[in-house]
Amino acid sequence: MARVLIVGGSDAGISAALRARELDSAVEVTVLLADAYPNFSICGLPYYLSGDVPDWRSLAHRSVEELEHAGIELLLEHRVEEVDATTQTVVTRGGRHRYDRLVVATGAEPVRPPIPGLEHEGVHQLHTIGDARLLDEVLARGPERAVIVGAGYIGLEMAEALRARGLDVTLVEQLPAVLPTVDRELGELVREELQRNGVLVLTDSTVSAIEEHGARLIVLGEHLRKEADVVLVVVGVRPSVEQQAFPLAPTVRCRSTGAWRPRSPTSSQQATAPSPITGSSRPTHTSRSVRPHTSRAGSPGRTRSVAIAATTALSAPRSSRSSSSRSPGPGSATRRRQRPD
């Protein structure tokens, strides 16, 4: 019986698992997750933190029970340490796992800019359910001031969320405008809306350090000194596949992100060499890398629509904001919120 092993349990990994079961109900499908939260909508995290989504569990597209009922074995908190393409096994702390076909769907991880002080207790990132739950505990203690480093999608949504919870919010962006992936004119409209809603926006500002003074944090830069109780660093993401764990045929390192990606295979490789990641002889196509200073990357059409939605959302009544329902069938990656991931 064929065994499909999938590393990563977000939308891509779960969609691949459901599709494999749909194509062949006899195939054994196992999904390895580094955390305990399969198939969650991380795009909804700011709305959980704002209070629009009361329970973080409702961000799950499917429950563990639903996925197991579909014939998928979930191994939670199993971080992959090594892939042996020769023996077709994956090594985790829980043991060795054999595969006939291996799918790597590990998604992205937050960029950690070279800023001294990121290790301080009050400095947070927002990328996982675990990140959101920790930040929610901090916000429940009643902090008054927040500094957000990064004015991409997540930065804007968190500015709204923290204002909804009564915090004074400063948004810091090193580029000349917020939402730097869209047209400058549109970014200026979004900036004006942020300011109308009480957010202090500082563009052309680079953070050089975050210092801890007792219970306070001081965010420092050239012509920048802001006190905060909470600092959120959301400056972008990069692919999380690491060369050390995944033997990706010949590879190159992306200059902009430092991440590894496959080289374009030669014609002989396309014809004869199966990929150690997918077990397929099809050529590998690599998309453009994510720019590190943005919160989310996307096509111009997608980013423009998101920016318009962000501008509207800041001033729209909460009751008017809609969310999509649970995805209706196997393989669907419908998001609960309006913004694409």
Residue 153 in tokens: 């999608």
The amino acid at residue 171 is L
Is the model's pLDDT at 331 over the cut of 90?
no
Neighbours of 43 (CB within 10 A): 20
> What mean pLDDT comes out for the span 68-97?
92
Q: What is the pLDDT of residue 296?
A: 32
> What mean pLDDT comes out for the span 185-199?
95
Residue 242 — very low, low, confident or very high, per pLDDT cuts 50/70/90? low
Is the model's pLDDT at 170 over the cut of 80?
yes
The amino acid at residue 323 is S
Q: Mean pLDDT in the chain?
A: 77
Q: What is the pLDDT of residue 330?
A: 37
To which residue do tokens 């150690």 refer? Answer: 276
In this structure, of 7-21, 69-83, 315-329, the range with the lowest mean pLDDT score is 315-329
User: Residue 28 carries which DSSP code?
Assistant: E
Helix (H, G, I), strand (E, B) or coil at 123: strand
Q: What is the pLDDT of residues 279-302, one digit of tens each?
A: 333 333 333 222 333 333 333 333
Residue 318 — very low, low, confident or very high, per pLDDT cuts 50/70/90? very low
Q: Distance (Å, rounded) from C-alpha 170 to C-alpha 42? A: 23
Phi and psi at 109, nearest 5°, equal -135, 155
Is the model's pLDDT at 218 over the cut of 60?
yes
User: Mind spelling out the 3-state secondary structure of 178-193?
Assistant: CCCCCCHHHHHHHHHH
Strand 260-262 relative to strand 251-253, pairing: antiparallel
| More confident call, 323 vs 110 | 110
**Domains in the chain: ranges and CATH:** 3-109+238-289 (3.50.50.60), 123-236 (3.50.50.60)
Residue 173 — very low, low, confident or very high, per pLDDT cuts 50/70/90? very high
Cross-strand bridge partners of residue 253: 260
Residue 304 near residue 296 (C-beta atoms within 8 A): no
Residue 327 near residue 60 (C-beta atoms within 8 A): no
Cα–Cα distances in Å, from 265 out to 101, 230, 249, 287, 341? 19, 46, 9, 15, 29
Exposure string for 103-122, b = 16+ CB within 10 A, e = fewer: bbbbbbbbbebebebbeeeb
> What mean pLDDT comes out for the span 185-200?
95
> What mean pLDDT comes out for the span 311-338?
37
Q: What is the pLDDT of residue 327?
A: 38
Q: Distance (Å, rounded) from C-alpha 170 to C-alpha 168? A: 7
Residue of 178, 116, 181 whose CA lies nearest to 340: 181
Residue 64 — very low, low, confident or very high, per pLDDT cuts 50/70/90? very high
In this structure, of 63-67, 198-202, 269-273, the range with the lowest mean pLDDT score is 269-273
- What is the percentage of the chain residues whose pLDDT exceeds 70? 70
